[in-house]
Amino acid sequence: MRKSALTTLIAASVAAAAVTASTQAFAYGAGDFFTRVGVAKVEPKSDNGSLDAVAIDAYGLETDVEDDSAFAFTLGYRFTDKLGVELLAAEPFDHDFTLGGGAATGSTDHLPPTLTLQYYPLGGTDAYVQPYMGVGVNYTKFSDEKATVAGVGEVDVEFDDSWGAVGQLGVDLLIDDNWALNGAVWYMDIDSDAKIAGIDAGKVEIDPVVVMGGISYRF
């Protein structure tokens, strides 16, 4: 899923470079404010590291963080035809996780505000298909962590908030002067130090691909 979504979006972006309008020029570019609204799916990488629950004498528990989808939106501004900035926000994502193949189970919520500097190669032209790419930074805030260990019961678990780099690819399919269809994918470096029963347990490496589809509106 991760690879196919990323490959499809890259292919669409490359193909878009040859597509231009012949009857109407929308000329999206400098000075535009815009929002993108849709559903985002967070897909953590398959190997999320391992944790040591020292307080309960459990070591090397392989960690598996599951996918989740939620409503997401962005706000952005194009300060030149080809350069812009965009902030991604969303309702909290709720991820279930397992440790040691089921020795422990739990869940956590996270908010992933992400700021990217974007480049639009066809910005300011009459292209109906507008690809873009971005780089930036992500801040992930974890909350409502819960865990239950087999044979022990509930234990306190805590994930530290995370800062990390971000890469982005996206494409707008312009409908008219204001509306467009949008698809985007981000790769986020999200690593969190974990504590179990108040004791350092290691690092959880989430490092997700985030895929979003929806609509865009230019103000």
CA gap 130, 109 in Å, rounded: 33
Has residue 4 got a pLDDT over 80?
no
Instruction: Let me know if residue 210 belongs to a domain.
Output: yes
pLDDT tens figures, 177-186: 899 999 999 9
- What DSSP state is assigned to residue 57? T
- What DSSP state is assigned to residue 1? -
Instruction: Let me know if residue 18 belongs to a domain.
Output: no
Residue 6, CA distances (Å) to 27, 71, 191, 204 in order: 27, 20, 21, 23
Q: Which among 120, 134, 115 has a CA at the least distance from the CA of 75?
A: 115
The pLDDT score that the predictor gives to residue 113 is: 95
pLDDT tens figures, 100-126: 887 788 999 999 899 999 999 998 888
Instruction: Let me know if residue 3 belongs to a domain.
Output: no
Has residue 187 got a pLDDT over 90?
yes
Q: Provide the terminal-to-terminal Cα distance of the chain, rounded to the nearest Å.
A: 33
Q: Which among 103, 115, 95 has a CA at the least distance from the CA of 204?
A: 95
Instruction: Let me know if residue 11 belongs to a domain.
Output: no
Instruction: Let me know if residue 145 belongs to a domain.
Output: yes
Which residues on adjacent β-strands are paired with residue 133? 119, 169
The pLDDT score that the predictor gives to residue 153 is: 82
Has residue 201 got a pLDDT over 90?
no
CA gap 65, 166 in Å, rounded: 19
Residue type, position 105, single letter = T
- If DSSP codes are grouped into helix, strand and coil, which group holds residue 64? strand
- What DSSP state is assigned to residue 92? P
Q: Which among 37, 42, 36 has a CA at the least distance from the CA of 2?
A: 42
Instruction: Let me know if residue 89 belongs to a domain.
Output: yes
Read off the pTM.
0.83
Question: Cα angle vertex 98, ends 47, 157, to 5°?
Answer: 105
CA gap 160, 140 in Å, rounded: 9
CA gap 195, 203 in Å, rounded: 9
Instruction: Compute, in degrees rounded to 10, the torsion defined by CA atoms 100, 102, 104, 108.
Output: 100
CA gap 137, 35 in Å, rounded: 19
The pLDDT score that the predictor gives to residue 60 is: 74
Band of pLDDT at residue 68, cut at 50, 70 and 90: very high
Q: Number of folded domains in the chain?
A: 1
Instruction: Let me know if residue 27 belongs to a domain.
Output: no
* Domain limits for position 101: 35-218
CATH number of the domain enclosing 205: 2.40.160.20
